[in-house]
Amino acid sequence: PFDTLVIGSGPAGCAAAIYTARKGVRTGLLAERFGGQVMDTAGIENFISVPETEGPALAKNLEQHVRSYDVRVITAQRAAKLIPAEKEGGLHEIVLESGAHLKARTIIVATGARWRQLNVPGEEEYRTRGVAYCPHCDGPFFKGRPVAVAGGGNSGVEAAIDLAGIVSHVTLLQYDPVLTADEVLQNKVRSLPNVDIVVNARTTEIRGDGRKMTGLSWQDVKDGSEHSIDVDGIFVQIGLLPNTDWLKGGIEMSRIGEIGIDERCRTSIPGVFAAGDATTVPYKQIIVAMGEGAKAALSAFDHIIRVPAA
Ligand code: FAD
């Protein structure tokens, strides 16, 4: 058995595995895809101390860094189930989709999240060439140019407010008849001169010139009329889905399936820790996920030295 088994090899999982390995703890890492969401990212300009990099390059560095330590990397496998230890200090069990079982004294869940997509023509084609999901990450790439935001909940309205200070104009497209964001955010966004709000709008297509996005079409769901606007980008803000379905039932989660953690990355199950985008931690960013992974690892180590093995 492992002392620590880390599930997921994005920024949070890689940081966790490196930290536990550096403590001399027997560490396993379930690495379905090194880098996680970072692999889907073109330019990264907010990974502090590295002014500019690209997703695949950062993912490669993550893998190299992990492999420079004594970490047992298990590739091409996904966790399907967690069976918590029966008594304190006992072994937790992870069942893989292949049916195999792995045991460990502590588990660090770092299975990340994925952005909900519009699922319209052009979205895949112009991903990273206009279609964006993270305003903190990609907002500055659209400086002085017109963009749209899809989604009128808190994240969509926050994105519109954030982007309005950077881009020339924001069109906020909301499918529902009203914005569902908090009142204070709605008041703020309505006060901005360069934001237009369109409700009852269903985005139907992302258009482009083959090289980059040039506009989008939307339909008025009330009267069926079709509309089209020219924008250089769209920020899709219709939800971030944590990859935690496989844990449902056993562990405390938020309404939207984020694993509940305390300030030490402890979950509701003793000996099971969680880090990064799969958790309730606010602000889903690479540097935040790495910090959380480090924190979860140090907490796991603390657990190992304090709780006697059963
Ligand atoms: P993830 O990166 O999601 O990694 C989770 C890993 O777990 C994945 O490898 C996944 O395959 C694996 N996994 C999932 N389920 C299972 C399972 N059941 N068993 C085993 N493994 C599993 N942040 C920035 O700071 N700057 C940026 O410029 C930036 N740009 C972004 C651009 C895009 C297009 C996207 C999508 C995100 C961007 N982000 C950016 C956000 C950043 O990528 C995430 O916050 C960060 O990757 C989260 O790290 P994580 O390790 O928690 O999860």
What are the φ and ψ backbone dihedral angles of 19, each rounded to 5 degrees? -65, -40
**Sequence-ordered alpha helix ranges (H) in 129-264:** 135-138, 154-164, 183-190
Q: Relative to the CA of 111, which ligand 1 atom is closest?
A: 7
Q: Relative to the CA of 13, which ligand 1 atom is closest?
A: 51
Q: Is 144 left (phi over 0), alpha (psi -120 to 50) or beta?
A: left
Question: Which residues have a Cβ under 8 Å from the Cβ of 306 and sit 6 or more positions away?
Answer: none
Decide: residue 205, CB within 10 A, 0-12 exposed, 13-18 middle, 19+ buried. Answer: middle
Tens-place pLDDT, residues 77-120: 999 999 999 999 999 999 999 999 999 999 999 999 999 999 99
Q: How far apart are the first and last CA of the chain?
A: 13
Question: Which residues have a Cβ under 8 Å from the Cβ of 49 and sit 6 or more positions away?
Answer: none
Cα 2 to averaged position of ligand 1 atoms, centre (Å): 24
The answer to whether the CB of 271 falls within 8 A of the CB of 105 is yes
Task: Provide the pLDDT for residue 282.
Answer: 94
CA distance 12 to 257: 18
Q: Which residue is it, tokens 């889907």?
A: 40
- Does position 250 have pLDDT exceeding 90, yes or no? no
Domains, the chain, ordered by start: 2-114+240-306 (3.50.50.60), 117-236 (3.50.50.60)
CA distance 272 to 234: 38
Cα 260 to averaged position of ligand 1 atoms, centre (Å): 18
32 lines ligand 1 (CB under 6 A): yes
Region 220-248: mean pLDDT is 96
CA distance 19 to 291: 11
Q: What share of the chain is helix, strand, coil (3-state, %, to 5)?
A: 25, 30, 40
The arrangement of strands across the sheet holding 226-229 comes to: 201-208, 213-220, 226-229
244 lines ligand 1 (CB under 6 A): no
Tell me which DSSP letter residue 141 carries: G
Q: Which residues pair with 171 in a beta bridge?
A: 148, 196
Cα 141 to averaged position of ligand 1 atoms, centre (Å): 20
112 lines ligand 1 (CB under 6 A): yes
Region 17-39: mean pLDDT is 96
Nearest to 165 by CA among 135, 199, 185: 135
Structure tokens at 213: 């996005």
Task: Look up the pTM and report it.
Answer: 0.91
- The CB-side HSE value for 191 (13 A sphere, CA atoms) comes to 6
Tens-place pLDDT, residues 263-307: 999 999 999 999 999 999 999 999 999 999 999 999 999 999 999
CA distance 22 to 125: 42
Tens-place pLDDT, residues 10-27: 999 999 999 999 999 999
Report the Cα 310 to chain-centroid distance in Å.
35
